[in-house]
């Protein structure tokens, strides 16, 4: 570990210290295209599952949902605590250019490198979020499955290139997921955190997209002025990432407005509050529900 570009970790676990990034990169360069098969299976399962569940009673799955969200919350908290110090250290001692253009978070920092590797791999099991939606017969919106698929593909592809700006994306995602999955674990366990927290979570997601776009704009500028030898991001990666984050911003902004500010969104919030039937899927996306849908869900809960 190069201490000149890494924070002074108080504790380094053996599994982190044993991390060898060259091996994981070779594996990913050889196998990353399998992600397209995984996405194909995912699409077949979720939409085939919806058809399968159409005339069947929903599964409750509350105990499993509590465990699932709690596990993802704990993983995200640990990931944030092990990657954020590296980003803050680099910003403090080396500045924005290094944070955007130099992949030292993988090549020189075994702690951050290990949790970067786990982050990339975690995007595959996170597809399981959607199974809870399908089996519990909740609304599956485009934003949900589009977000899952594109993040998975982009993360695996970017790891093959050691995309330097990814340190920003990884830290932001870990931090937002730490809050999001903790909140939904509490909701699944029938605790009732204030509803404004869900609005804060969506706001954090929007902020994440704005920063993601800004990082790509900076990366493009640095690549033009300093060249590919100094800034380790490919032009194609910047284009893909900017397109992805821009599309997320549009979708999340539309979702934010329709959920919290449109007249239909306000009515559905009142109905949900009155019925104690939150229209939330397992990945934290709130759905607007009609009074009939809420009544139907309440009947199921009572059974």
Average pLDDT (269-297) is 41
Average pLDDT (84-90) is 97
What are the tens digits of pLDDT across the range 228-237?
A: 999 999 999 9
Residue 82 pLDDT: 97
What are the tens digits of pLDDT across the range 191-216?
A: 988 888 999 999 999 999 999 999 99
User: CA-CA distance, 130 to 144, in Å (whole number)?
Assistant: 8
User: CA-CA distance, 113 to 16, in Å (whole number)?
Assistant: 8
* 282's tokens: 């397992």
- The catalytic residue positions are 147
Site of tokens 């060898």: 20
**221 CB-near residues (< 8 Å, 6+ apart):** none
User: CA-CA distance, 291 to 293, in Å (whole number)?
Assistant: 5
Better-predicted residue by pLDDT, 9 or 301: 9
On average, the pLDDT of the chain sits at 88
Instruction: From 160, 139, 152, 155, select the one nearest 21 (Cα to Cα).
Output: 160
Question: What dihedral angle (degrees, nearest 10) is formed by the CA atoms of 88, 93, 94, 96?
Answer: 40
Instruction: From 99, 79, 97, select the one nearest 89 (Cα to Cα).
Output: 99
CB atoms within 10 A of CB 64: 16
**19 CB-near residues (< 8 Å, 6+ apart):** 110, 113, 114, 117
Residue 299 pLDDT: 34
Task: List Cα–Cα distances, 195 to 185, 201, 270, 272, 282, in angstroms.
Answer: 14, 10, 11, 11, 16
CB atoms within 10 A of CB 161: 17
User: CA-CA distance, 192 to 189, in Å (whole number)?
Assistant: 9
Q: What is the pTM of this model?
A: 0.87
Residue 34 pLDDT: 97
Residue 273 pLDDT: 46
What are the tens digits of pLDDT across the range 140-185?
A: 999 999 999 999 999 999 999 999 999 999 999 999 999 999 999 9
**291 CB-near residues (< 8 Å, 6+ apart):** 271
What are the tens digits of pLDDT across the range 238-277?
A: 999 999 999 999 999 999 998 888 765 555 555 444 433 3
Residue 262 pLDDT: 74
Residue 47 pLDDT: 97
Coil vs helix vs strand at 36: helix
Average pLDDT (53-76) is 96
User: CA-CA distance, 262 to 284, in Å (whole number)?
Assistant: 19
Residue 301 pLDDT: 35
């Amino acid at each position: 570990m190069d201490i000149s570009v890494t924070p002074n970790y108080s504790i380094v676990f053996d599994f982190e210290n044993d991390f060898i990034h060259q091996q994981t990169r070779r594996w990913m360069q050889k196998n990353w295209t399998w992600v397209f098969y995984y996405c194909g299976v995912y699409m077949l399962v979720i939409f085939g599952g919806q058809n399968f569940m159409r005339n069947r009673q929903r599964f409750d799955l509350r105990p499993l949902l509590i465990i699932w969200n709690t596990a993802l919350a704990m993983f995200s908290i640990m990931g944030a605590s092990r990657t954020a110090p590296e980003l803050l250290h680099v910003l403090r001692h080396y500045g924005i250019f290094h944070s955007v253009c130099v992949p030292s978070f993988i090549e020189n920092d075994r702690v951050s490198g290990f949790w970067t590797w786990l982050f990339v791999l975690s995007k595959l099991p996170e597809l399981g979020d959607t199974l809870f939606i399908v089996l519990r017969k909740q609304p599956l919106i485009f934003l949900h499955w589009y977000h899952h698929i594109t993040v998975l593909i982009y993360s695996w592809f970017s790891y093959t290139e050691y995309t330097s700006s990814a340190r920003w994306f990884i830290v932001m995602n870990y931090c937002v997921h730490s809050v999001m999955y903790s909140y939904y674990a509490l909701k699944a366990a029938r605790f009732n955190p204030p509803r404004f927290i869900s609005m804060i979570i969506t706001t954090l997601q929007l902020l994440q997209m704005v920063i993601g776009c800004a990082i790509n704009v900076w990366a493009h500028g640095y690549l033009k002025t300093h060249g590919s030898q100094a800034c380790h991001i490919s032009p194609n990666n910047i284009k893909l990432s900017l397109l992805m984050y821009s599309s997320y911003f549009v979708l999340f902004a539309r979702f934010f407005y329709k959920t919290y500010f449109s007249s239909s969104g306000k009515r559905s919030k009142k109905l949900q509050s009155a019925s104690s039937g939150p229209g939330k899927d397992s990945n934290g996306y709130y759905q607007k529900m009609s009074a009939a849908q809420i009544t139907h869900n309440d009947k199921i809960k009572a059974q």
